[in-house]
Amino acid sequence: MEKHTVSQLKALTSDTEVTLQGWIQDIRVMKNIIFLVFRDHTGIAQLTVKRDSWKGINLESVSRESAVSATGTFLAKGVSKIGPEILLKVLTVLNPSRSPLPLAVSDPVNSDIETRLNHRFLDLRKREVNVVFQAQSKLLWGIRKFLSDNGFVEVHTPKVVAAATEGGADLFRVQYFEKETYLNQSPQLYKEILISAGLNRVFEVGPAFRAEKHNTVRHLNEFTSVDIEMAFSDHNDAMRMLEGSVRSGISEVSSSMGKELAETGHNILIPEIPFPRITYEESVKYIEGHGEKINFGDDFSPEQLKILGNQFHDFYFITKWPAVLRPFYTMPDPANSEFTNSFDLQYQEKEITSGAQRVHDPQMLVERFHSKGLREEDFSFYLESFMYGMPPHAGWGLGLERLCMILLDLPNIREATLFPRDRNRISP
């Protein structure tokens, strides 16, 4: 017999024989009838059993969250309010669940985030949790499709590297045979090498690692980074590609999951483009106009960004950041070398993305190494690619989990991460 999912039942005619496979969410025992709440990855159905005609296993002994196969007759005019109704004929327990459950799946009990993450496999069975990662998949697919349609090639670069991408101490060291190496902070150096190789437009979706000792609702130490690099381009080209990617991703979520997300409390609004832009200097003036003092070259605090974000209702760019705040590969502003051709994409007070036009002149790049206290010999493999006609180029790196967190208005970035890695958590 053909297997069906709950979502497929509505297209069937009444009295069709069906087989469903999933989990028993709950059992309700009445005097003459037993109701089993059945759940698969597409929805919930009710399995109805009449006691006087049932000849199968003892249903009252089936534990909640047991994996089962259920065969019965679909009742198109069933009276169940929870979902489609099946008159059950055969129930096979594929794998019983232990009892009691370490984490409630269907009961209206709010467990703390640490308990949920400790038992993530059960937490993910909840519809409101599961739907987050379905949306994240659609979000990434919309971004991928946009980039592919705009001539980008997907690539995969090393995650164990010999040199720090951005310098500094925020690195995880790895013993690699006889050598000490690092987990890569980003694919930045390799993206640029590929631009020199003539691939012209590249993007990568992969893990990135930051050994920052944060413990906030917005930071992770391992996250999924969506990175692009594009040849013969500047920061303005990169910003246009970024806002197009974000809009495409959100549009994909809205069109494919808008109704389901609304049912779980998430209302998706597709942003208009182009996004507003404000320079670092203009941002400083605005914030200082609201009573906050900022020294040139200081990054903005979350409180200051809240002030700035109040004038924007959606996404916006902060552009022209000071050189002291940007990595060595960031192109200085030709009109004023204290600033750079760089940008951050913000949503209210939350930073989503950093990007910039990159330095493509090898001599300028060496000078930037020195200004940041880096040794050029540590980057010889990277620097060589600039010696043979590196074109002007630009790009950005986007944190997928943070964008998903913002899109769905989640209170904690761990809600948008299957198995978070933060300062305290390395399991499961």
| Catalytic positions, written as ranges | 210, 212, 218-219, 351, 354, 402
Q: What are phi and psi of 98, to 5 degrees?
A: -65, 160
The burial class, CB within 10 Å (0-12 / 13-18 / 19+), for 165 is buried
**Would you say the C-alpha torsion 204, 164, 372, 198 has a positive or negative sign?**
negative
Q: What are phi and psi of 279, to 5 degrees?
A: -80, 165
Give the chain's largest Cα–Cα span: 87
User: Are 59 and 48 in contact, with CB atoms under 8 Å apart?
Assistant: no
Q: Taking each helix axis from N to C terminus, what angle separates 280-288 and 302-309, rounded to the nearest 10 degrees?
A: 90
Neighbours of 62 (CB within 10 A): 18
Distance CA 257, CA 133 (A): 11
Neighbours of 93 (CB within 10 A): 15
Q: Taking each helix axis from N to C terminus, what angle separates 235-263 and 127-149, rounded to the nearest 10 degrees?
A: 150
Structure token pair of residue 69: 């196969």
Structure token pair of residue 193: 């090498």
Classify strands 17-29 and 3-4 as parallel, antiparallel or unpaired.
parallel
Distance CA 420, CA 242 (A): 26
Distance CA 252, CA 142 (A): 5
Classify strands 85-95 and 67-75 as parallel, antiparallel or unpaired.
antiparallel
CA angle 248, 251, 257 (to 5 degrees): 135
Contact partners, residue 340, CB within 8 Å, separation at least 6:
320, 321, 322, 323, 326, 330, 331, 332, 333, 356
Contact partners, residue 269, CB within 8 Å, separation at least 6:
250, 314
